[in-house]
Amino acid sequence: MRFLLDDEQREFARSLDGMLTAADTPGAARAWAAGDTAPGRALWARLAEAGVLALAVPERHEGLGPLPLELAVAFVELGRHAVPGPLVETVAAAAFLDRLDGLGRLDGLGHAGAAAEWLPRIAGGKALVSLCVPAASGPYALDPDAADAVLVVDGDTVRLAATTGPLQPSADPVRRLARPLGGTVLARGPAVAVAASHAAEVAALATAAQSLGLGRALLDRTVGYVGQRTQFGVAIGSFQAVKHRLADTLIALEFAQPLLHSAALALAAGADHASAEIAAAKVTAGEAAYTAARTALQLHGAVGYTEELDLALWIRKARPLRDAWVTPAACRARVLAG
């Protein structure tokens, strides 16, 4: 099986990297954390123009996909640049609505209405949709105050939340969490649970990709810093212990990449082992990013703890992403079971 990206996929990644490098993503993230979503939505519009959100939406609903590998490539860059907002949850919602739509066509339950309403808007970047599947993501929705819709799956029922509770404290202030409340039932039946399971796998894959990009950004910033910071008259990057720490971080990230690509290919093919592959990619990428965050914090020293340094925006994401959409323990159990 081929795990290397082709020329078109690599160019797609480079174009996203260039676009996001030119944008003020730290500024958008800080504004998002303060409740100002306008800069973040402007970024979403640009990402939609680049086709990122359409990768999770089928062609019959004005999308380009579903294309799991290209989606993973895109989310690596989104993680690298710490783009704010319920990106994972929105593409997971698209996967959920698409699968529910397909199952509805088969069982005659008529689930097409929500898909026809929301999927074209998601593909065009006109709708932020937060999906909450308590069995997989926990009881809180991500950024419900910024989302245009919050879908909540409870067993075999999905509802459109009417409101949300107060925002909860989060290790990452850019990730705004609240419990969805009330709402209107959109669909009920076994198809809902099947679609939610598929959506959770898409979310886990996208989160793994985000983690990989996050870890790479942290490593790049740390390598740059240790080359400039001096101690005893020499750059600390020349110390053997520092080199070993950076090498261990790099190896962890490099091992995660083929697992991510393999998981995306398995999901695209609908393979029976896709769930185990996604779990392996999720736990490996999540732990690698967390390692990169700890390395960055240690090698930056006291300055790494300051909120004023943009590095904090990346460091504070590592653990929440590691634990979001299937915890490391659950991922390991799934791999063993698979």
Whose CA is closest to 154, among 137, 138, 172, 134? 134
Say if residues 96 and 153 touch (Cβ distance below 8 Å). Answer: yes
Residues in contact with 244: Cβ distance below 8 Å, sequence separation at least 6, in sequence order: none
Q: Average pLDDT, stretch 144-149?
A: 93
Lowest-confidence range among 10-14, 102-106, 182-186? 102-106
* pLDDT, position 104: 64
Say if residues 126 and 94 touch (Cβ distance below 8 Å). Answer: no
Say if residues 207 and 325 touch (Cβ distance below 8 Å). Answer: yes
Position 14 pLDDT exceeds 50: yes
Whose CA is closest to 307, among 30, 40, 79, 20? 30
Task: Tell me the pLDDT band of 25, cut-offs 50, 70 and 90.
Answer: very high
> What are the beta bridge partners of residue 230?
235
Position 26 pLDDT exceeds 70: yes
CA dihedral sign, ordered 332, 97, 190, 262:
negative
Per DSSP bridges, beta strands 129-132 and 141-142 are unpaired
Distance CA 122, CA 119 (A): 5
Report pTM: 0.94
Distance CA 305, CA 85 (A): 23
Amino acid code (one letter) for 316: R
Say if residues 208 and 89 touch (Cβ distance below 8 Å). Answer: no
Neighbouring C-beta atoms of residue 145, cutoff 10 Å = 14
Neighbouring C-beta atoms of residue 39, cutoff 10 Å = 18
Helix axes 274-300, 328-337, angle to 10 degrees: 150
Amino acid code (one letter) for 273: H
Higher pLDDT, 252 or 187: 252
* pLDDT, position 110: 45
> pLDDT by residue (tens digit) across 220-258?
999 999 999 988 889 999 999 999 999 999 999 999 999
